[in-house]
Chains A and B, each alone.
Chain A
Amino acid sequence: SQQGEEDPQALSIQEGENATMNCSYKTSINNLQWYRQNSGRGLVHLILIRSNEREKHSGRLRVTLDTSKKSSSLLITASRAADTASYFCATDSSNDYKLSFGAGTTVTVRA
């Protein structure tokens, strides 16, 4: 079973716009991570946020974490065509480094 659920399932935006996707999870976590996957390829690690952090930035990415609501959001600013991909949140808990992934949000950036 999958721990996280992303919302929306799919997102289509114009180049230059911002893209926001959300992730909700069920059990308490140590860390929450976001990954990107281009069609037919492996996943690429984007950013990790620890359970005691509330916000983190990396380039055009901003991640927030609300442990009271068991939710996280990923914001991609000034989107580019190259951002077209599926985005997954993944969580681990306690001393278990095994990650549990959600079903992903598919983002399409139109030129």
Chain B
Amino acid sequence: DTGVSQNPRHKITKRGQNVTFRCDPISEHNRLYWYRQTLGQGPEFLTYFQNEAQLEKSRLLSDRFSAERPKGSFSTLEIQRTEQGDSAMYLCASSSTQGYGYTFGSGTRLTVV
């Protein structure tokens, strides 16, 4: 396992389209997090999973956003009916239950045109 993998690296989509991102965490890590980062800002928490259970969702995660982590392995983040304001870097991270630091993926940069 070489780290957290995110796909795709970049996504350009037209407003109104649906997009889905994938995150493959470090296999020994049972916690998985999604963050969103806009230019010049720090990452903002979206949601996290412990194993397959989604334990917390931010108010930032509107009804258009949904995340899953089937069988506690990889995770997907789907955005329906994308808006220009959804343009951002979407970061995935994983950690063990000891919470000793997160390992981040390289992110998926979404551009909504």
A: residues with CB less than 8 A from B are: 2, 4, 31, 33, 35, 40-45, 48, 88, 90, 92, 97-104
Known: A40-B109, A42-B106, A43-B104. A92 touches B45 (CB 8 A): no
Known: A42-B104, A43-B104, A45-B103. A103 touches B33 (CB 8 A): no
B42–A41 contact, CB under 8 A? Answer: no
Tell me the interface secondary structure of chain A in the complex: strand
* B98, closest chain A residue (CB): A97
How far in angstroms is the closest Cβ of chain A from B35? 8
B104–A98 contact, CB under 8 A? Answer: no
* B50, closest chain A residue (CB): A97
Given A35-B102, A45-B104, A99-B102, 11 other A-B residues pairs in contact with their CB atoms under 8 A: A40-B89, A42-B6, A42-B106, A43-B93, A43-B104, A88-B43, A97-B31, A97-B99, A98-B45, A100-B45, A104-B42
A102–B99 contact, CB under 8 A? Answer: no
How far in angstroms is the closest Cβ of chain A from B75? 15
